[in-house]
Amino acid sequence: MGTSRQFDQSLCRGALHGFLDTVREGHPDTPFLILSPIICPCHENTPGPTVYGGNGQFTSITGHEEIRVGSLTLSRIRQIVSAVIAQRRDDGDSNLHYLDGLELFGEDAADLPDDLHPSGDGYVRTGERFYEKVFTGTGAFAV
């Protein structure tokens, strides 16, 4: 059997393909946008779980390193999702689109007051960026 890294990444990739296959069975030509996670500094390169630290902040906790090695992190999830969407687009699904969540809320970590959830201003800015990236110019659903 492969490493936990291979298992976690294969499971994630397979689950996403399965989800997209299910959607496409009923809606083969419907435009569809997949959005990856926004920033969460404690999990960009460290797997979960996320816990409340008692000081108003959320953080990750350490675990058994032999289990956590190769576990999914947000940066790895973004790579996998991007690759799956690119592969399916290359295979002919031109109505499938990908948007990296970091383009919506990435370098905004100062607007994560609890290190997990955006502030009100962060949510507004994320919505404005979503509109710009998806509904204008060359966005997936530009009018």
Give me the residues of the chain with pLDDT under 50, please.
Answer: 1-2
d(CA 4, CA 137): 42
| φ, ψ at 56 (rounded to 5°) | 90, 0
Give every CB contact of residue 136 below 8 A, 6+ residues apart in sequence: 142
- pTM for this model (two decimals): 0.86
Query: What is the pLDDT at residue 1?
Result: 42
Query: What is the pLDDT at residue 34?
Result: 97
Question: Is residue 49 reached through a cis peptide bond, with omega within 30 degrees of 0 on the bond before it?
Answer: yes
**Residue 130 neighbours by CB distance under 10 Å:** 18
Two tokens, residue 87: 């592969």
| Token pair 């994560």 in the structure block, residue | 112
Strand, helix or coil at 44?
Answer: coil
First vs last C-alpha separation in the chain: 49
